[in-house]
Amino acid sequence: MVLDAENLGAISTEKSDIEIIATDSVSLANDDSPFGMRGGNTFITILSGMQTVTQPLDAGGEDINFVSNDVAISEDIRSIGASLNIRPVNNAGKIFIGDNTSGMDLTDILHLDTSEISKLQNGFKEIVIGSTEGQHEIIIGDQNTDTGTIEMLDPFVIQNSQPGGETYIYDDIIGTDDASLTIKG
C-alpha cells in the first residue's frame, strides 16, 4: 500500500504481512485499538521525513522493518523471536545512536536516543541497525562525552557492509539478558 497520510494504523487479525510505503512522515496511531500496528511481518518505508511510533507496535513474532530518514519512538515495540531492522532510506545515510548531549546537528540523520532504545522490548532475535547495502557513517554515542552508555537487551547488529562505510563507537555498550554486539562491515 502506498499512502500520503499523517497517521496510520493497521491490524491483521490473521497475522498477515503489513507492507506500507508512505510518501512523507507518518505516525503509527490507531484510535480504535491500543496498538498502532499489529500483524505479521511489518515493512514500513517512509520516502521522506520521520517514522513516529506513538502507540505500541506488536508484530506477533514476525519481523519489523523500518526504512526512514529518522524515527521517533515513544511507545513499546515488540515481536518475540523476530528481527527488528532499522535503516535510512539512503544507503549512504548517517545514523546516530545514543544521546546527543553536545548538541550535534542531527538534520538528515537517522537518530535513536537511549529513551527510544528503551522502548525496544526484550525478546527480539536481533536488532539490526543499517543494511547489507549500507555505506553509512554510524556513530554510537557522543564523541564529546565519556560517560554515555547504550543498554541493549537483545543481540545488537551494526550492518555497514559496503566500501566507504564507517562505524564509530564513543559510548559504552552494555548488554544484559542474551545481548551481544556484532559489527558487519
Q: What is the DSSP string of 82-149?
A: -EEEEE-SSTT-EEEES--TT----TTEEEE-HHHHTTB-TT-SEEEEEETT---EEEES-TT-S--E
Q: Are residues 91 and 181 in the same domain?
A: yes
Q: What is the pLDDT of residue 57?
A: 85
Q: What is the pLDDT of residue 5?
A: 55
> What is the residue range of 52's domain?
1-79
Q: Are residues 55 and 97 in the same domain?
A: no
Q: What is the pLDDT of residue 34?
A: 47
Q: Are residues 92 and 166 in the same domain?
A: yes
Q: Are residues 150 and 64 in the same domain?
A: no
Domain boundary residue, one of 28, 58, 79: 79
Q: Are residues 65 and 131 in the same domain?
A: no
- Per the structure, the count of domains in the chain is 2
Q: What is the pLDDT of residue 177?
A: 94
Domain boundary residue, one of 46, 79, 112: 79
Q: Are residues 101 and 182 in the same domain?
A: yes
Place of cell 506500507: 20
- pLDDT for 73-99, tens place per residue? 999 999 999 999 999 999 999 999 999
Q: Are residues 132 and 156 in the same domain?
A: yes
Q: Are residues 161 and 97 in the same domain?
A: yes
Q: Are residues 69 and 95 in the same domain?
A: no
pLDDT < 70 regions, the chain: 1-48
Q: What is the pLDDT of residue 56?
A: 86
Q: Are residues 17 and 66 in the same domain?
A: yes
Q: Are residues 97 and 65 in the same domain?
A: no
Q: Are residues 96 and 182 in the same domain?
A: yes
Domain boundary residue, one of 79, 103, 126: 79
Q: What is the pLDDT of residue 133?
A: 94
Residue 51 CA to residue 3 CA, distance in Å, equals: 13
Buried b (16+ CB within 10 A) or exposed e, 20-44: bebeebbbbbbeeeebbbbbbbbeb
